[in-house]
Amino acid sequence: MDGLTLVTGGAGFIGSHVVDALLMSGSDVRVLDDFSTGKEENLDGAWALAAQGGAGLQVIEGDVRDEVRMRDAADGCEAIVHLAAVPSVAQSMEDPVGCDSVTHGGTVNAVRQAVEAGAERFVLASSCAVYGDAAELPIAETTSPRPLSPYAGAKLASEGVCADAADAGQLTAVCLRFFNVYGPRQDPGSAYSGVISRFLSAAAAGEPVTIYGDGRQSRDFVYVADVVAAILAALQRALTGTSVLNVGTGRQTDLLQILDVVEERSGRKLERRLEPAREGDIRDSRADAGRSRWVLGWEAEIGLPAGLAATWEWFTAGDSGA
């Protein structure tokens, strides 16, 4: 995509990395973010890139559910990367109505305004949570969804909104089902943060870590730079209709293994506090990313040791707020 690209949630963890990558590729970028979880400092690098010339950056502060703000943000855009959501299973269990309003309702508004603006492509950040506790691993896109939380249900419904618009010939939709994303800029103090950011933050501060469940639950951890590469491929590949694709490494690691690596990296033995498993959390997860290789020409390149090392470097550089 050579024209203007809108990134909703562009000041967030994943979104700010997407903005950086688009600017580095020479694309003009517009950000829509209400800064409820996104941070202005996440865009510092983007402003520096824009100042170097070659691509423009605009930031609109607003809620993705706001029809006027969303219309202004989508105006003139060739493509939209929709990352704005309530990205937390636990939060969705506490406030299912609020989660659905932002995650699903925001997608309805974003797709509507994308169509009105004549955007050609809509890339949705979906989630592996839609699969629930899959009976077999690895999980392919043909696995029947079994959402266990309002968050997962809202993401699945959002995919349906995208598919409806694509089926009507209004745009091309790519729904990327992210597995467990980690990396620099993931806020460990947020209720929405992932387990790796919380573990690294605890290690940096010399504090205890909390594990929900027995610690043997496993995840497919995918580094943020690989996720960004998948998003850019979804923008650039010649596609039609709707594509639903897994974004994961195809490898699974349990939480106690993660802790072992974090302790090795930090040189600290961490106190481990066990709490009951949280409602809505799945037991095991591992992606079959074969369709993404075929459709997007994409596969994860950064292994867990390298990704953890880069993330630990960010935490200990004093930029994380930890």
Calculate the alpha carbon distances from 261 to 103, 123, 207, 234 in Å.
33, 33, 16, 32
Q: Where are the domains of the chain?
A: 5-182+221-249+287-301
- For the annotated catalytic residues, the residue numbers are 151
Mean pLDDT score across all residues of the chain: 93
Rg (alpha carbons) of the chain, rounded to whole number: 19
Where residue 57 falls (left for φ over 0; alpha for ψ -120 to 50; beta otherwise) is beta
Q: Can you tell me the distance from the alpha carbon of 53 to that of 23, in angstroms, rounded to the nearest whole number?
A: 9
Question: What is residue 317's predicted lDDT score, i.e. its pLDDT?
Answer: 85
Q: Can you tell me the distance from the alpha carbon of 102 to that of 37, in angstroms, rounded to the nearest whole number?
A: 13
- E-assigned strands of the chain? 5-8, 29-33, 57-61, 79-82, 121-127, 172-178, 180-182, 209-212, 218-219, 221-223, 242-247, 253-254, 272-275
| 1 pLDDT tier (thresholds 50, 70, 90) | low
Q: Can you tell me the distance from the alpha carbon of 275 to that of 267, in angstroms, rounded to the nearest whole number?
A: 25
Percent of the chain with pLDDT over 90: 83
Q: What tens digit of pLDDT does each residue of 17-70 get?
A: 999 999 999 999 999 999 999 999 999 999 999 999 878 999 999 999 999 999
Does position 254 have pLDDT exceeding 70, yes or no? yes
**What single DSSP character describes residue 172?**
E
Percent of the chain with pLDDT over 70: 97
Fold of 5-182+221-249+287-301: Rossmann fold (3.40.50)
Does position 191 have pLDDT exceeding 60, yes or no? no
Question: What is residue 59's predicted lDDT score, i.e. its pLDDT?
Answer: 98
What's the average model confidence in pLDDT over 158-177?
Answer: 98
Return the axis-axis angle of helices 106-117 and 150-167, rounded to nearest 10°: 20
Q: What tens digit of pLDDT does each residue of 129-152 get?
A: 999 999 899 999 999 999 999 999
Question: What is residue 321's predicted lDDT score, i.e. its pLDDT?
Answer: 43
Give the burial class of 156: count Cβ atoms within 10 A of its Cβ; 0-12 exposed, 13-18 middle, 19 or more buried.
Answer: buried
What's the average model confidence in pLDDT over 218-243?
Answer: 97
Does position 248 have pLDDT exceeding 60, yes or no? yes
Cα 18 to chain centroid distance, Å, stands at 10
Report residue 44 as tokens: 């510092």
Cα 45 to chain centroid distance, Å, stands at 19
Instruction: State the Cα angle at 134 between 133 and 137, rounded to 5°.
Output: 130
Question: What is residue 230's predicted lDDT score, i.e. its pLDDT?
Answer: 98
Does position 315 have pLDDT exceeding 70, yes or no? yes
Question: What is residue 319's predicted lDDT score, i.e. its pLDDT?
Answer: 47
Report residue 109 as tokens: 């508004």
**What single DSSP character describes residue 240?**
-
